[in-house]
Amino acid sequence: MSAQRTSYHGQWSSRWIFIMAATGSAVGLGNIWKFPYMAGENGGGAFVLVYLACIATIGLPVMIGEILIGRRGRQSPINTMRALVADGSHWAGWRFVGWLGVLAGFLILSFYSVVAGWSLSYVGEAASGAFVGADSATITALFNDLKGDPWRLLFWHTLFMVLTIGVVARGVQSGLEQAVRYLMPALFLLLVVLTGYAMQSSGFDEGLAFLLRPDFGALSADGILAAMGQAFFTLSLGMGAIMVYGSYLPGDASIPRTAATIALMDTTVALLAGIAIFPLVFTHGLSPGSGPGLIFETLPLAFGAMPGGVFFGTLFFLLLVFAAWTSAISLIEPMVAYLVENRDWGRVPAAVASGGAAWVVGLGSVVSLNVASGFDIFFGLTWFGFADYLTSNIMLPLGGLLIAIFAGWVMPRSAVMEEVGLTGLLFRVWYGLIRYITPVGVGIIFLHATGLIGG
């Protein structure tokens, strides 16, 4: 009965396009901006190891679950959950998963757009030659000036949100597909170039050792929570983005193969970013734990010193903007699809309303970097830090946990098997992971971080 649903919003033209779109969603600021600074703040190697373990044992199984739920329901996450609940007469409260995701998407986009705005502004800085021959004091001052100026931040935040709304308004095929087809491969190539540059720097060995040699003494319970949160964040899991993309996936595409490809590409990009950045940190005597400004304070040094740096620097920040753009569109797509389905809105007003709401919430992040930087929302976090912490470390893992329980325990095994297309040992491995390892893993890390167990 349910397997033959078709999506009201259209379909990806092929499995490959879905992979590109989902990779476009997954690869973004999370890989290039967030992963390096979080690894830096949490002591490096041990964080990276926990992060990789979370990708393999929690992230990948949940991604398969999230795509299969989406394709089974073929609607916005809210309506997909409603439809699957109705299919099996399950508890109606499961719809909450869809709403939790919509809320998380708004919150993430609100600060994501501000950071994407930094990248936009750095396209101009790079092109104007501002990095050429600059030392680290100059580069740090450049970043602090930007952060300290609410009007400039507002301008770039607004521009980025307009770009995001523009693509989402155009719909699945003409809007989303075109944005990812060429830009992802280009970004990847440029990262390889940067990594090559880093390999020649004097801090390469130290940088690589920092990133890859685990020092578990440097990893706190909150660091473990952050590594798990980052695994969800970087794969775009737990809020319905991958679910709604899955709802546009052709019925004959293999979900596990697709998910594995996406996770592999995403992880490769994050590791490459780390390998490009940490050698620079050590070569220039900077601190790996300097926080969210890390890539904006290190990469310009490399561009300022390398031949062709104006060109490479401009191109890099431009591609970073594109990577952020293809991620941002997936953050409001669940809400947009819902408004189109249930309120009969056109895609244009739905995109404007959703993006506009995230823009307003983002104003809080803009001012929390300057005029309101002393304003403590929650345990020493500013609004910017709080929105990030709440979504990455709590809402996404919670959403992922619920998705895992729904796919692993609530949906009938036959429906799950039919949709996921795995048999034999592979099916048992995945089913075991999503039924036991994911819920227990997320649960333990939650309890550990709140101090209820362990130290």
- Chain residues binding ligand TRP by CB under 6 A are 25-26, 28-31, 108, 233-234, 236, 239, 241, 327, 330-331, 396
Residue (203 or 399) nearer to ligand TRP, CB: 399
Spatial contact of 175 and 167, defined as CB atoms under 8 Å apart: yes
Q: How far is the CB of 87 from ligand TRP (least distance, A)?
A: 25
> What is the C-alpha to C-alpha distance for residues 253 and 379, in angstroms, rounded to an integer?
46
Residue (28 or 279) nearer to ligand TRP, CB: 28
Residue (203 or 362) nearer to ligand TRP, CB: 362
Q: How far is the CB of 329 from ligand TRP (least distance, A)?
A: 8
Minimal CB distance to ligand TRP: which residue? 30
Q: How far is the CB of 342 from ligand TRP (least distance, A)?
A: 21
> What is the C-alpha to C-alpha distance for residues 167 and 67, in angstroms, rounded to an integer?
22
Nearest CA to 313 out of 329, 322, 302 is that of: 302
Question: Secondary structure of the chain: what % helix, strand, coil (to 5)?
Answer: 80, 0, 20
Residue (218 or 357) nearer to ligand TRP, CB: 357
Q: How far is the CB of 230 from ligand TRP (least distance, A)?
A: 9
> What is the C-alpha to C-alpha distance for residues 126 and 315, in angstroms, rounded to an integer?
9
Q: How far is the CB of 29 from ligand TRP (least distance, A)?
A: 4
Nearest CA to 397 out of 442, 438, 435, 367 is that of: 442
Residue (334 or 439) nearer to ligand TRP, CB: 334
CA distances to 217, 296, 356, 360, 432 from 382, rounded to whole Å, are: 27, 20, 22, 16, 39
Q: How far is the CB of 331 from ligand TRP (least distance, A)?
A: 5
Residue (119 or 140) nearer to ligand TRP, CB: 119
**Which long-range contacts link 340-343 to residues 24+ away (Cβ below 8 Å)?**
340/8, 340/9, 340/76, 341/8, 341/75, 341/76, 341/79, 342/78, 342/79
**Single-letter residue type at 205:** D
Residue (234 or 267) nearer to ligand TRP, CB: 234
Nearest CA to 322 out of 440, 167, 144 is that of: 167
> What is the C-alpha to C-alpha distance for residues 113 and 58, in angstroms, rounded to an integer?
27
Q: How far is the CB of 32 from ligand TRP (least distance, A)?
A: 8
